[in-house]
Amino acid sequence: MASHRVLQIPAKAAPFELSTRPTPTPGPGQVLIKNETIGLNLIDHFMQAYGIYIPDDKYTPGFITGQEAAGTVEAVGEGVTSIKVGDKVCYQGGPEQTMFAFQEKSIADAVRCCKVPNGITVDEAATLPLCVATAAVGLYQTENHRGGPGVGLTPPWAEGGLGKYAGQPILIAGGASAVGQFATQFAKLSGFNPIIVTASASSTELCKSRGATHVIDYRTTPAEELPAVVRDITSAPLPVIFDTISQPPTQEACWKLLAPGGALALTRHAVPSVGASGVRRDDAEGKLAVVVYGMANQGVNLKFGEDMYKALDQYLKDGSIKPTKVEIVDGGLEGVQAGLDRIKAGVNGVKLVIHP
């Protein structure tokens, strides 16, 4: 039986190790992809270092993670007509072990793959799946994976969604992050204006190229001063805020700015001053905080992810969605840990990837 190399976590909090696994055959509706570029993400560090999302009984023979990749289709399963052998595609990893990305070959559901169009490299395509999904789920999903409501805006790919929120302001904290860049581009498709983001001064042009109308330098504007600076830009209420940073100071500033009845999307658990996520406040303001689960291949996000990938194909072709800048980390699969260490220390405006 054919086999391929994988990078696995042998036990909770244990270092990554190289191993081999049998190469699977795609089932109905699936494809087998030879990974050429694999994206690195902070969640991979959390899974390795703390066991987040990994049940204790899943470490045998070792747990494979890796959230996104791009490569060449080597085989297609029964019923797959939209993708053929030889196509270049990107996809989000998981939830099954054969579907995660830290390996030379992975299985993916064809309906949640995106062909790599002309003008975008395979390296760039590997930056898309997880962070595009996190941005889109955060803004448009009506349900939350833990139960309760999502932010629930009408997505631009749905009827009446393109430009629907014209004239309404939005704030995106962390506009130069990968999720922030995609959230900004979706906000532009949705018609929001002004689109206010926080980022370092060096990322101003990057953020504006993605659709931001105003960039607030977080290095010179501490979080506690953010509400006043935003109010100098617009006096209109902010019905939606996406805090891609989600550290306590930014959460508190965003919560203060959020309009009554508005929704705050977070990428980490809500701080006590914000309160429980997924529950609209039973008070006069009625605000909602939502912790975003950006896995498009699971649970309530399955159909949402399928629709999003159909739209993403066109958005990449017409330039409405642009990938993030890429930096290749040396060492292949063996270089994953060094890349994750860099992400943990802080990476701005660029996505780290490896070539397996």
Measured torsion, CA atoms of residues 224, 226, 227, 228, in degrees rounded to the nearest 10: 100
Residue 272 tokens read as: 């006590």
Check residue 232 and give its pLDDT.
97
Check residue 152 and give its pLDDT.
97
Query: Where in the chain are all domains bearing CATH 3.90.180.10?
Result: 3-127+324-354
- In single-letter form, the type of residue at position 72 comes to T
Tell which CATH classification among 3.90.180.10, 3.40.50.10890, 3.40.50.150, 3.30.465.10 matches the domain 3-127+324-354. 3.90.180.10
Residue 31 neighbours by CB under 8 Å, 6+ apart: 73, 75, 76, 77, 80, 83, 89, 107, 108, 110, 113
Q: What share of the chain is helix, strand, coil (3-state, %, to 5)?
A: 30, 25, 45
Superfamily of domain 131-291: NAD(P)-binding Rossmann-like Domain (3.40.50.720)
Report whether 317 contacts 5 (CB < 8 A).
Answer: no
What is the length of the chain? Answer: 356
**Residue 185, CA distances (Å) to 188, 195, 312, 320 in order:** 5, 10, 12, 7
Query: Where in the chain are all domains bearing CATH 3.40.50.720?
Result: 131-291
- Going by C-alpha positions, the residue among 65, 115, 74 that lies closest to residue 93 is 65
Residue 208: CB atoms within 10 A of its CB come to: 17
At CA 353, angle to CA 345 and CA 320, rounded to 5?
Answer: 105
List of E strands, 144-207: 170-173, 195-199
- Report the C-alpha gap between 213 and 197 in whole angstroms: 8
pLDDT tens per residue across all 356 residues of the chain: 899 999 999 999 999 999 999 999 999 999 999 999 999 999 999 999 999 999 999 999 999 999 999 999 999 999 999 999 999 999 999 999 999 999 999 999 999 999 999 999 999 999 999 999 999 999 999 998 878 899 999 999 999 999 999 999 999 999 999 999 999 999 999 999 999 999 999 999 999 999 999 999 999 999 999 999 999 999 999 999 999 999 999 999 999 999 999 999 999 999 999 988 888 887 888 999 999 999 999 999 999 999 999 999 999 999 999 999 999 999 999 999 999 999 999 888 899 999 99
**Measured in Å, how far apart are the chain's first and last C-alpha atoms?**
21
- Going by C-alpha positions, the residue among 68, 132, 173, 192 that lies closest to residue 324 is 132
The DSSP string of 279-316 is: S--SSSS--EEEE----TTSTTHHHHHHHHHHHHHHHH
Measured torsion, CA atoms of residues 21, 22, 28, 31, in degrees rounded to the nearest 10: 70
Check residue 283 and give its pLDDT.
83
Q: Give the 3-state secondary structure of residue 266.
A: strand
